[in-house]
């Protein structure tokens, strides 16, 4: 099961869980109205997985690559780690499938509170265009993820505030209408 929770606002190491005391868990049912979708797959067969192929086909995730986030493998590691953790939006969906290791995606809820989503091997998530979010490694310092995209990838992050973008406006409208 996917684990998610509301974050504390301490400034300690971003790689720590940052759970509240007592913990305030967040369910998939709470993530859905934010437009965050989730699937659990068998990451041991990511190279030939009918379940993954079905999702890719249905959602037009035609493009993919694999990124390994580790200090020895990722060029400009420190810089990238820093930019992943700066609150931002994209103009398209951000789709990530964790095939090894782990990490955290943080997303803002409707009241602008941070929800931390613990991503582990086999977790596939999509964040909608226009949602404020960020990513960090956890204490394990290693993630191998498939990046999927609808068409040719554009990874440009727009730091908060990014209210002027059409994708953001559409997302804000979506939030107003969702349960």
Q: Would you tell me which residues interact with ligand KMT (CB under 6 A)?
A: 67, 69, 84, 94, 96, 103, 135, 143, 145
Q: Nearer Cβ to ligand KMT, position 5 or 123?
A: 123
Neighbours of 137 (CB within 10 A): 20
Return d(Cα 75, Cα 67) in angstroms, integer. Answer: 11
Q: What minimum distance in Å lies between the beta carbon of 108 and ligand KMT?
A: 15
Q: What minimum distance in Å lies between the beta carbon of 69 and ligand KMT?
A: 6
27, two tokens = 């369910």
Is 70 known to sit in a ligand binding site? no
Count of residues interacting with Ni ion (CB under 5 A): 1
| Residue 105 to residues 3, 60, 70, 151, 177, Cα–Cα distance (Å) | 11, 23, 16, 23, 24
Q: Nearer Cβ to ligand KMT, position 24 or 150?
A: 150
Q: How far is CA 24 from the centre of its chain?
A: 19
172, two tokens = 């804000």
Q: What minimum distance in Å lies between the beta carbon of 135 and ligand KMT?
A: 4
Q: Nearer Cβ to ligand KMT, position 126 or 143?
A: 143
């Amino acid at each position: 099961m996917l684990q998610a929770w509301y974050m504390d606002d301490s400034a300690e190491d971003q790689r720590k869980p940052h759970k509240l005391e007592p913990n305030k868990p967040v369910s998939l049912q709470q993530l859905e109205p934010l437009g965050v979708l989730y699937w659990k797959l068998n990451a041991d067969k990511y190279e030939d997985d009918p379940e993954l192929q079905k999702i890719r086909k249905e959602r037009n995730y035609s493009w993919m690559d694999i990124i390994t986030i580790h200090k020895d493998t990722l060029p400009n590691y420190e810089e990238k780690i820093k930019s992943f953790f700066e609150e931002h939006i994209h103009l398209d969906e951000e789709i990530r499938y964790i095939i090894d290791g782990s990490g955290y995606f943080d997303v803002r809820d409707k009241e602008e509170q941070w929800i931390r989503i613990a991503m582990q091997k086999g977790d596939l998530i999509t964040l909608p265009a226009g949602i404020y979010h960020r990513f960090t490694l956890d204490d394990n310092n290693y993630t191998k993820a498939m990046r999927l995209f609808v068409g040719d990838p554009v990874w440009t992050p727009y730091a908060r505030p990014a209210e002027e973008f059409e994708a953001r406006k559409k997302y804000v409208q979506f939030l107003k209408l969702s349960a």
